[in-house]
Structure 1
Amino acid sequence: MIPALFLCIFSSVSQYNGVKRWTKVNNKTNNLESIWKILPLRIRDPLSAQISDKDVLQEIRLRAGQKVLFYCDGQEHTLKTKENCMITPEEVQETIQYATGYSLYAYEQELKQGYITIEGGHRIGIAGQVIMEQNGVRNFRYISSVNIRVAHQVRGCADAVMPYLTSQGNVYSTLIIAPPGCGKTTLLRDMIRQIANGCDYLKGKTVGVVDERSELGGCYLGIRQNDLGVRTDLLDACPKADGMLMLIRSMGPEVIAVDEIGSAEEVGILRYAMHCGCRTLATVHGESYQEIRDKPLFEEFFRLRLFERYIVLCRGERIGQLEGVYDHQGTKIC
Structure 2
Amino acid sequence: MSAADSNPRSALAQVIAVMPRDMARLFQGLGDDLLHELEEIRLRAGQPLELCLRQRSAFVAEGGELTSSPHRGVRVSADELAQVLQRLTQFSRYAVEEDARHGYVTLPGGHRVGIAGRAVVEAGRVRAFRHVTSLNVRISRDHPGAASAILPVLYDRVSRRPLSALIVSPPQCGKTTLVRDVARRFSYGDLAPDHPGLKVVVIDERSEIAGSVDGIPQFDLGPRADVLDGCPKAEGMMMAIRSLSPHVVVTDEIGRMEDAEAVLEASLAGVAVVATAHAASLDAWRRRPWMERLFASHAFDRYVVLSRRRGPGTVEAVLDADGRPLRRGGAEAR
Question: What TM-score range do you get, normalising by the shorter chain?
Answer: 0.7 to 0.9
Aligned partner of 1:190: which letter? D
Corresponding position: 1:280 with 2:273: yes
Give the Å deviation of 1:295: 4.8
How do residues 37-48 of structure 1 correspond to structure 2 at under 5 angstroms?
A: 37-48=17-28
Taking a change above 3 Å as real, the CA distance of residues 176 and 147 of structure 1, as seen in their structure-2 partners, is: same
Pairing partner for 1:217 from 210, 231, 248: 210
Pairing partner for 1:8 from 4, 11, 33: 4
Give the Å deviation of 1:135: 8.1
Give the Å deviation of 1:192: 0.7
Give the Å deviation of 1:205: 1.0
Corresponding position: 1:247 with 2:240: yes
Deviates more, 1:158-167 or 1:94-103: 94-103
Corresponding position: 1:53 with 2:33: yes
Aligned partner of 2:166: which letter? L
Give the Å deviation of 1:173: 0.8
Give the Å deviation of 1:129: 2.7
Q: Cα RMSD over matched residues?
A: 2.5
Contact 2:4 2:141 in 1 (8 A): no
How do residues 188-267 of structure 1 correspond to structure 2 at under 5 angstroms?
A: 188-201=179-192, 202-267=195-260
CA distance in 2, matches of 1:106, 1:161: 34
Q: Alignment length, in residue pairs? A: 314
**Any gaps of 5 or more consecutive residues in structure 2?**
64-71, 328-334
Aligned partner of 1:65: which letter? G
Contact 1:121 1:215 in 2 (8 A): yes
CA distance in 2, matches of 1:127, 1:329: 39
CA distance in 2, matches of 1:106, 1:307: 32
Give the Å deviation of 1:262: 0.8
Pairing partner for 1:143 from 122, 132, 140: 132
Taking a change above 3 Å as real, the CA distance of residues 30 and 102 of structure 1, as seen in their structure-2 partners, is: closer
Secondary structure class of the residue paired with 2:253: coil
Deviates more, 1:73-82 or 1:236-245: 73-82
Taking a change above 3 Å as real, the CA distance of residues 76 and 51 of structure 1, as seen in their structure-2 partners, is: farther
CA distance in 2, matches of 1:125, 1:225: 21
Taking a change above 3 Å as real, the CA distance of residues 230 and 117 of structure 1, as seen in their structure-2 partners, is: same
TM-score normalised by the chain length of structure 2: 0.85
Q: Which residue is 1:91 aligned to? A: 80
| Cα offsets for 1:11-40 (capped at 9, x unmatched) | xxxxxxxxxxxxxxx453242122222112
Q: Which residue is 1:80 aligned to? A: 61
| Cα offsets for 1:31-74 (capped at 9, x unmatched) | 21222221122222333434542532111111111111111214
Contact 1:117 1:220 in 2 (8 A): no
Taking a change above 3 Å as real, the CA distance of residues 71 and 129 of structure 1, as seen in their structure-2 partners, is: same
CA distance in 2, matches of 1:33, 1:63: 21
Secondary structure class of the residue paired with 1:323: strand
| Cα offsets for 1:189-211 (capped at 9, x unmatched) | 10011111211424211112211
CA distance in 2, matches of 1:132, 1:264: 23
Corresponding position: 1:167 with 2:156: yes
Contact 2:255 2:291 in 1 (8 A): no
Aligned partner of 1:117: which letter? T
Pairing partner for 1:34 from 1, 7, 14: 14
Secondary structure class of the residue paired with 1:86: coil
Contact 1:121 1:220 in 2 (8 A): no
Q: Which residue is 1:12 aligned to? A: none
Contact 1:64 1:88 in 2 (8 A): yes
Q: Which residue is 2:66 aligned to? A: none
Give the Å deviation of 1:325: 1.2
Taking a change above 3 Å as real, the CA distance of residues 131 and 298 of structure 1, as seen in their structure-2 partners, is: closer
Corresponding position: 1:327 with 2:320: yes
Deviates more, 1:177-186 or 1:26-35: 26-35
Secondary structure class of the residue paired with 1:109: helix
Corresponding position: 1:318 with 2:314: no
CA distance in 2, matches of 1:145, 1:259: 25
**Any gaps of 5 or more consecutive residues in structure 1?**
10-25
Give the Å deviation of 1:294: 5.0
Q: Which residue is 1:308 aligned to? A: 301
Deviates more, 1:149-158 or 1:220-229: 220-229
Contact 2:253 2:276 in 1 (8 A): yes
CA distance in 1, matches of 2:111, 2:279: 24
Give the Å deviation of 1:166: 0.8
TM-score normalised by the chain length of structure 1: 0.85
Taking a change above 3 Å as real, the CA distance of residues 161 and 106 of structure 1, as seen in their structure-2 partners, is: closer
Secondary structure class of the residue paired with 1:60: strand
Kindly, what percent of the aligned residue pairs are identical? 37
Contact 1:179 1:315 in 2 (8 A): no
Give the Å deviation of 1:319: 0.9
Taking a change above 3 Å as real, the CA distance of residues 38 and 177 of structure 1, as seen in their structure-2 partners, is: same
CA distance in 1, matches of 2:106, 2:295: 35
